[in-house]
Chains A and B, each alone.
Chain A
Amino acid sequence: MDKNEVKNFIAKRVAKELHDGDVVNLGIGLPTLIPNFLPEGVDVTLQSENGFIGLVSTEMEDKELARYVCNAGGAPASIAKDGMFFDSATSFGIIRGGHVDVTVLGSMEVAENGDIANWIVPGKSVPGMGGAMDLVVGAKKVIVAMTHTQKGAPKILKHCTLPLTAEKQVNLIVTEMGVMEVRPEGLVLTEYNPEYTIEEVQAATEATLIIPDDIKQMEL
């Protein structure tokens, strides 16, 4: 798979995690591909942390209005018929208050206990956390959607090395190699991509993967 195929593969698998009626916040990048792959009959409400529910990722048809509506990445967007605009305090009240069912975001590192680090590389890159810290603390389910490794180096670790975004908040990790659930007993590989062996998935992962008896092959 090339880079784009990998992204679409991950997005397609994450889409299966969403349920009809869910309120969902999608991070910038890969997660924005997920709506393209929603199963038939699954309709979700997208929350955009810059201030609305009902995010639609196409530019407003009304050109007069288009310049007033962007998504959280500053790209043109529009709003669904049942949507609503609000200020940033209301937006993060929705997020922190547990009114978002699922947030999907990328990460630089995730630990086997659900710790996540995705906002700063000290001395190199200081983009800031934006809404990520509130999202991972507030959303009912936190899904990390990312490539399994970075230039061959594992991103799924025993312990994060970068400053944390939050402790123990990740529920599920979906990569091109597999699907991993953070459970009390540890990180469980529930599905693996049959293009790889389970041993190859473990070799690309620093964290110890628990392999259950009922492990499945990833299906899209």
Chain B
Amino acid sequence: MGKTQIVSAQEAAKVIKDGMTVMVGGFMNNGSPRDLIKAICDAGAKDLTIVCNDCGFVGVGAGALLANGQVKKLIASHVGLNKQVAEKYNAGELELVLQPQGTLAEQIRAAGAGLGGVITPTGMGTIVAEGKDTIVIDGKEYLVEKPIHADVAVIGAYMADETGNAIYKGSTRNFNVLMASAADTVIVAAEHIVPAGEIGPDHVETPHIFVDYLVQETNIGEFE
């Protein structure tokens, strides 16, 4: 794994190559790192599979990557606030997989935790269950959902120490905390970078062992 490297957003964006699966943290952009996403747009990797809760808004958050024509496939739970998703999907330009939000969260957590899948009652009896395995436990039928792993995770944090230990603020935790565990390469974009030890072991939420690159970010919070 090696130690966390502090690099520029431009430098970090280079790890994303054509065809990769990339997780983008945030919920309606709340917790999505804007500067880092802009650098990924500028770097221009194509045919990406993006895993995110909602694809932000048109041109904003994960929506910036979609607007920039870099996304081949989208795995999300809610895309109603980004009309470009429906436009591109209806035009046959985008593969779209919609998963229940709690299932998506657990699929990502399962990948990070080395679990073989998620066994959930959610989605039973709906089109979400079509073509998937089910399992009966103590007389109740559950849906089996596979883990979701990524090549790269793009995480928005409030603060990180220089070793990569990160904390969040407000409702920006959302998918960030989970995605930071579930990718081969994890880039944390933090609004504040402080000396090692300053956050303190009682408060760290993402341990530095998950984090490969740390970049300075100016905006992870804004959601409108």
B134 at the interface (CB under 8 A from A): no
Q: Which of A37-92 contact B (CB under 8 A)?
A: 48-52, 65, 67-70, 72-74, 76-77, 79, 85-89, 91-92
A126 at the interface (CB under 8 A from B): yes
Contacts of B171 in A (CB 8 A): 48, 50-52, 68-70, 77, 85
Specify which of A49, A134, A137, A163 lies most central, judged by the most chain B CB atoms within 10 Å of its CB: A134
Contacts of B78 in A (CB 8 A): 127-131
**What number of A-B contacts does a CB cutoff of 8 Å give?**
154
Q: Is the CB of B178 within 8 A of A134?
A: no
User: Closest approach, in angstroms, between the C-beta of A70 and any C-beta of chain B?
Assistant: 4
User: Closest approach, in angstroms, between the C-beta of B143 and any C-beta of chain A?
Assistant: 10
Q: Is the CB of B28 within 8 A of A128?
A: no
A165 at the interface (CB under 8 A from B): yes
Contacts of A74 in B (CB 8 A): 27-30, 81, 223-224
Contacts of A166 in B (CB 8 A): 122, 124-126
Q: Is the CB of A70 within 8 A of B122?
A: no
A96 at the interface (CB under 8 A from B): yes
The 8 Å CB contact of A134, one of B98, B100, B223, B224, is B100
Q: Which of A102-146 contact B (CB under 8 A)?
A: 120, 125-134, 137-138
Q: Is the CB of B98 within 8 A of A86?
A: no
Compute how far the CA of A88 lies from the CA of B158 in the bound complex, rounded to whole angstroms.
17
A177 at the interface (CB under 8 A from B): no
Contacts of B28 in A (CB 8 A): 50, 70, 73-74
Contacts of B169 in A (CB 8 A): 65, 68
Q: Which residues of B contact A (CB under 8 A)?
A: 27-30, 53-54, 76-81, 85-86, 89, 96, 98, 100-106, 108-109, 120-128, 158, 168-178, 221-224
Which 9 residue pairs across A and B have the least CB separation, nearest first? Answer: A92-B102, A127-B80, A68-B170, A74-B28, A130-B78, A134-B102, A67-B221, A167-B125, A87-B177
